[in-house]
Chain A
Amino acid sequence: MFKTKFLRPPGAVKESEFVKKCIRCGKCQQICPYNSIVLTSWENPFYFGLPYIIARKKPCYLCMKCPPVCPSGALDRTLVDKNKVKMGIARINRDTCWAYQGSFCRACFMNCPIFDKALKMTDELLPVVIEKYCVGCGICENVCPVEPSAIIVEPLKD
């Protein structure tokens, strides 16, 4: 089975265009100070060299250094405001999330860069994703203390 869902770097145009536009130059991967961006290899040979992010390993920290270096327009070069990024949307698995199991945990909430907007704690002390503000950076997925992560970013569909 080949991997088919990819979390693209911030500013990526929609998936069907992204795979056409990206010239696989690797500039975004080179500029990323956190080594968050990896290039596709055998996990899907049809997409060789296309950049993506494995949030559980290294999420996007929204430094916004990669969009301006993209030569092809696969990433929106004008994007500077991290609040306007839309890479995907985080989804909470309520069957495994500690907070929903009656334990108290707020790791995703505290680490969310769109603090207290994209992720909210309800008065029942449960985290909820506010889709309108969630940028899909994957930091929540990265820090979740449940194995496998109880909050996962779904890449944006076309």
Chain B
Amino acid sequence: MKCDRREFLKWSAALTAASVVGFELSLPENLQAVDVDKWIKSVCRYCGAGCGLYIGVKGGKVVAVKGDDKNWNRGYICVKGSYLPKILDAPDRLKYPMVREGGKWKRITWEEAMNLMVSKFAEAIKKYGPHSVGFYGSGQSYSEESYLANKLFKGALGTNNIDGNPRLCMASAAVGYVTSFGKDEPMGSYDDIYYADCFFIIGSNMSEAHPVIFRLIMEQKRKRKVKIIVADPRKTLTVRNADLHLDFIPGMDLYILNAMAHVIVKEKLYNKDFIDKHVVFKKLGPDNKPQKVNFEEYVKFLEEYTPELAEQKSGCPKEKIIQAARWFATSKATMSFWCMGLNQRTKGVWVNNLVNNLHLLTGQICRPGATPFSLTGQPNACGGIRDVGLLSHLLPYGRLVANDQHRAEMEEFWGLPKGRIHPKPGLTAVELFRKFAEGEIKCLWVVCTNPGQSLPNLEKYRKGMAREDTFLVVSEAYHPSRTSELADLVLPAALWCEKEGTYGQSERRYQYLPQVIKPLGEAKSDFEVILTFARKLLTALGRADEAKRLFPYKTTEDVWNEMRACSRNTVYNFWGMTRARLIKEHGMLWPVPTEDYPAPGTLRRYTAKYGDPLVKKYDPKAEDISFYGNPADGNRAVIWLRPAVGPAEPADKDYPFILTTGRLIEHWHTGTMTMKVPELMRAAPRAFVEINPKDAQKLGIKTGDMVRITSRRGSIVLPAKVVDIPRPGVVFVPFHYPDKLINILVTDAFDPMSKQPEFKISAVRIEKA
């Protein structure tokens, strides 16, 4: 006893001392007051960073989480993640299926719900054909769930009207990777942070949206004096920690990126050897078809994009652009990060290409620390949507709907009659909801996402979703959400650790999430619901044999094994990631071609020297680097000549401000989860509009004043926050708050290549309300 007391007093003295000087001191495990039965390894439910964590369970309840120190995040998690246990038993969790009858919600049994849903879908298919039904999936569903839905709609039903919400967040990055390198997904990984000497962050507020990744970068800044360049129209916390801030008028970054290339070429900072070996140049010809050009033509194309022109168009001082170009090209290793600021744009693919161009031009790629890296918004947008192919133009693992051979491959793999998969890409997110609003789609199933809040130009699509003569099914953990309130049928979904499955985050890392507790009430995993629905619907359509043959699964592992096999002859090859390995390891990065291929898998792709096992298979002659995803161009990557173009809706006389929307660290997307946590609501209770002090002074607006913001599509009143964050002429509103639907104001103009809408730039006017 005496010894304990002595030990205790010593620790007290040490901890008090530590707190006085801000010394980091962690209590030894046995002194920590965490009272749980067991800790179970899992992954955070929120953003695409994909932090590993342990879930603490006590008496069948989740009581705590802590970071996984053996995963890439090294034990760090952010404030939202820390409060994860509180989302599970929120009072508005949906506990049983409900149907809307005469404007009122009525509880029904699962059997009644499934029968109703099957009869509606079957009726529509019989009457109007398979293209009259649709599915809207999510980058938060588990991979196995998305794979099943994709197999049901594209394979069994023969319609490609199945798209996912990553269309709103990742599509431009995906098409950017495909056009630049032949195949989707980044070649690098978070591991590159430890080797990069220069970070180029554009269109990403990492400090709020991907805080743990940002923490790793800041750690390197302290240790190694790395350079951080941030291009952003707002002086975010990310910018405030940068060495160089490129501040510009939203939408004008194409000028800046082309001007950086201009400087690199003019000052001969490009890597000629790399270009000769690994790069081809292309532009869009007059017929809109890609056309090969040579380096000289690229140089000629860049001539007009001088730093002076970029300054004139973007408002960013030319000295800063020149400095950024020099640092980018001459650092030992440069790593780029970008996110929605580039992706949610009408020229999203082009601006993605322009970042990739800089890496190819300077050879800052395919070695430790040198890589372009697209950050992901959702925890499974990569693994579950882009890889699984739950987008209307994709088939699993890099295959395309429009490619005859790819369709034939999948028809054979799935055991479908020839010609079952429709050769035309289906409707993309915005188009899908437009056709639903127009009544062309009769039945739509929305799973694990909240389009009633997250679509652009919202009023238009909300009206469509509320139509009486169409049938909207929403699978949700919470009710009412801004989507489920418009539904005809709501199905209670198991949430996060109430079900099992796989997540794949930004860096190709696949991680297993075990079921830790029982689902609340009658909630079921979407896996179980999709599987039951698939069998019942096919039976109702008189195809009971297919129901048995195509959907024989008993567990999620059965589906996982089919997915492994499906990836086997593709560049995604993760055959070696058995369920047992994923349970044991702290995430694995594909390709992992064999079961004995060492964990964590492949940290860097397209380079044999740094460990890509597939270079030998696809390009046996390659010495080191090979962009084997692009055999059509001789395993070379593409530098695209992309002219600089402004946004769809620039500021003008009537709407002189640019509205940009974004995220706060406390909340995640539409807030269905984070807004159930009182501690987070205390920190970020309500929507606001950030206005630059100069603009505020001109308009006579003070912090706390109510301000009306009006765009061509709608209008909203919000309290002002006058702060030196947005540049003059720009206002910022977070899109999290269900009671202030800012997306009503946002344009639904979209990128013709990726079909991703331009959430980030809408012209508005503001006045005191």
Contacts and interface: CB of A to CB of B under 8 A. Distances in A.
Asked if A and B touch directly (CB within 8 angstroms), the answer is yes
Interface of A: 61, 63, 93-95, 98, 100, 102-107, 109-111, 113, 115-116, 121, 123-126, 142-147
B221 A106 contact: no
Interface stretch (B1-9, B103-111, B211-219, B528-536): B211-219
Contact of B723 (A104, A105, A115): A115
Contacts of B24: 100, 102
A60 to B, nearest CB: 12
27 contacts: A63-B702, A93-B19, A94-B19, A94-B22, A95-B19, A98-B79, A100-B22, A100-B24, A102-B67, A103-B76, A103-B81, A104-B79, A104-B214, A104-B215, A106-B207, A107-B79, A107-B683, A107-B684, A111-B683, A115-B724, A121-B240, A123-B218, A145-B83, A145-B680, A145-B683, A146-B679, A147-B679
Contacts of B18: 94
A113 B703 contact: yes
A143 B678 CA distance: 11
Given A144-B682, A145-B683, 19 more contacts: A61-B704, A93-B19, A94-B18, A94-B22, A95-B19, A100-B22, A100-B24, A102-B24, A105-B79, A106-B207, A113-B703, A121-B237, A123-B218, A123-B222, A124-B218, A124-B222, A126-B22, A142-B682, A143-B684
A110 B664 CA distance: 10
A147 B79 CA distance: 13
Contacts of A142: 682
Interface string B13-43: 0010011001010000000000000000000
B701 to A, nearest CB: 13
Interface string B702-726: 1110000000000000000001110
B22 A123 contact: no
A106 B703 contact: no
Given A103-B81, A107-B666, A107-B683, A123 B67 contact: no
A143 B77 contact: no
Interface residues of B, number: 39
A61 B722 CA distance: 13
A104 B666 contact: no
Contacts of B724: 115-116
A104 B78 contact: yes
B114 interface: no
A102 B237 contact: no
Nearest to B24: A100
B75 interface: yes
A103 B77 contact: yes
Contacts of B725: 115
B388 to A, nearest CB: 30
A95 B682 CA distance: 20
Contact of A145 (B211, B679, B703, B723): B679
A98 B82 CA distance: 9
B330 interface: no
A116 B79 contact: no
A61 B214 CA distance: 31
A38 to B, nearest CB: 19
B78 A116 contact: no
B237 A106 contact: yes
B222 A143 contact: no
